Structure 1
């Protein structure tokens, strides 16, 4: 009998049962310093889902406020896109709490000089 026939389903069950995030994940150091807890963003003590954009907006401001904050950049990633352009995008499409941020704009515009924060 092929051991992989038995082992593969067992391993699949094991990895599917493992939570996608470690239970000991902490907010980013900037958020810890500001006294932000998991509950503040996820609205539950032991998060089971991603934070909603409303959580970001509550502290960082809405799209126009963020566009004003980043207006000095060569390409303003928070500015309202002009006709026919996709967007605006959700905060969580670029900014992540537990992994490095990405710049969604770079998917279509690889020559933009944008560094995520």
Structure 2
């Protein structure tokens, strides 16, 4: 199944009419997730989450696994989703970089400030 198919399935079936349909106004989403109708439960697996915990599997339902993401970002000067080579740390959990209620960061830049990567 391709990433396009996964996204279509996510948009068509998993976005129910639960609390926070357009997101919690106290916790706005990035425009692309808000437009897709992502709700709290889609990421947090709870109707009214009280913690920021989000499992990678929640992200992978729509965005694909690490190999799929590495394929999508292979054009970057440094591929942040490519499997790290030992003794390098990682792979890192998706929410380490991709925050949804605050700006994203590039964790790689903590140790590699010369990398030409921008958060999304």
Instruction: Settle same-fold status: TM greater than 0.5.
Output: yes
Offset of 1:89 from its aligned partner? 0.6
Alignment correspondent of 1:95: 98
Runs of 4 or more, structure 1, over 3 Å off, are none
Larger RCO (CA within 8 A; separation ≥ 6): 2
1:51-76 per-position Cα deviation (integer Å, ceiling 9, x unaligned): 21111111111110000000000100
Offset of 1:80 from its aligned partner? 0.3
Alignment correspondent of 2:89: 86
Alignment partner of 1:30: what SS? helix
How many residues get paired? 96
Alignment correspondent of 2:65: 62
Which of the pair has more CA radius of gyration?
1
Gaps of 5+ in 1: 1-21
Please give the TM-score of this superposition, normalised by the length of structure 2: 0.75
Question: Within 1, Cα distance between the matches of 2:98 and 2:65?
Answer: 14
Gaps of 5+ in 2: 1-23
- Aligned CA-pair RMSD: 1.4
